[in-house]
Structure 1
Amino acid sequence: MRLEVTRRSDLAIRALLALHASADRSKATTLAEEVGTTKGFLTQVMNPLVQQGWVRSDPGPTGGYASAFDPDEVSVLTVIQAIEGPVDTGRCVLEDRACAQAGTCALHRPWSRARGHLLDDLGAQTLSSLIEAGPT
């Protein structure tokens, strides 16, 4: 994937934070309202989180979503990659293609350096640090 953050990633992080703050299971409808989306879109976002083992999904009338992760152990980058796919650091900043190592563009080195710093920062930013920072 190109380095980008979509609404899906934002919703995934907000859903994880909301579930962590809740002592009980959350119904999809309730959680969708809390994070500002529809139940259908929330379900798409939650599937990768369940597959990662960060969320438990219990079916049925008494079921719902529940937190199953330690916010100190999950980084913002790992959530983004769970939703968007692995970051392809070999992509060109100018065009949607692999970066040509021979004859690179003028932005190749500064972009590669900046992208590396951003990935390092997102990898170091745990969900617990977002909890501590509070709402924006």
Structure 2
Amino acid sequence: MKLSTTIRYGTRLMLDMAEHNETGPIRIKTIAQRQGISEKYLEKIVRLLRKAGLVDGLRGPGGGYVLAVPPEKITMGAILEAVQGRIELCPCLGEPEHCEKHMYCKTRMVWNDINAAVSSRLHSITLADLRDSTCPVDTKEVH
């Protein structure tokens, strides 16, 4: 399983907003510079996040984007679903008719269990958890 660039960038955008939430509205240009991500790409992602109700936009001088929901209530799962849609490891989990064998497929049960575990974990990690975590850095020298 590989996460899309949109998911990774969407998470970085939301985390940046959570880290700077107290300063008021943030311009996409500012986030793009801090994160090293194209403004155009972030604008596309922020539209999806607005549609999902996770981000609000404010116009005018001093405008920009703010979190529409406190970071403690925004989960990684909500971000992923806002930018990509439902969490599904394979198409037959969301739309069984994609596979003619879905009625008797023994592996579908395994994919469903794994999918449920991944979804549960993603919905248990909040933006506040990420914001408040410390990123361990290995300071050992490489020989």
The counterpart of 1:18, out of the listed 3, 16, 19, is 16
Q: CA RMSD in A?
A: 2.5
Distance (whole Å) between structure 2 residues aligned to residue 103 and residue 53 of structure 1 = 39
Name the one with the larger helix percent.
2
Deviation for aligned residue 1:90: 6.7
TM-superposed CA distance for 1:112, in Å, is 2.0
Asked whether the 8 Å contact 1:90–1:98 carries over to 2, the reply is no
Asked whether the equivalents of residues 56 and 67 of structure 1 are also in contact (C-alpha less than 8 Å), the reply is yes
- Taking the aligned partners of 1:135 and 1:51, their CA distance within structure 2 comes to 31
TM-score, normalised by the number of residues in structure 1:
0.79
1:101 corresponds to? 102
Alignment check: 8 A CA contact 1:9 1:83 kept:
yes
Contiguous gaps of at least 5 residues in structure 1: none
State the Cα distance separating 1:113 from its structure 2 match.
1.5
Give matches, 1:1-136, under 5 Å.
Answer: 5-22=3-20, 23-88=23-88, 91-92=91-92, 98-99=98-99, 100-104=101-105, 107-135=107-135
Q: Give the secondary-structure state (helix, strand or coil) at the position aligned to 1:130.
A: helix
Q: Does the aligned pair in 2 maintain the 1:54–1:67 contact within 8 Å?
A: yes
Does structure 2 retain, via aligned residues, the 8 Å contact 1:55–1:66?
yes
TM-score by length of 2: 0.75
Partners of 2:32 and 2:39 within 8 A in 1: yes
Bigger radius of gyration among the two: 2
Extract unaligned runs of 5+ from structure 2: 137-143
Letter in 2 for 1:101: H
Rate the CA distance shift 1:7–1:53 in 2: closer, same or farther, 3 A. same
- Is the CA contact 1:5–1:80 (under 8 Å) kept in the aligned structure 2? no
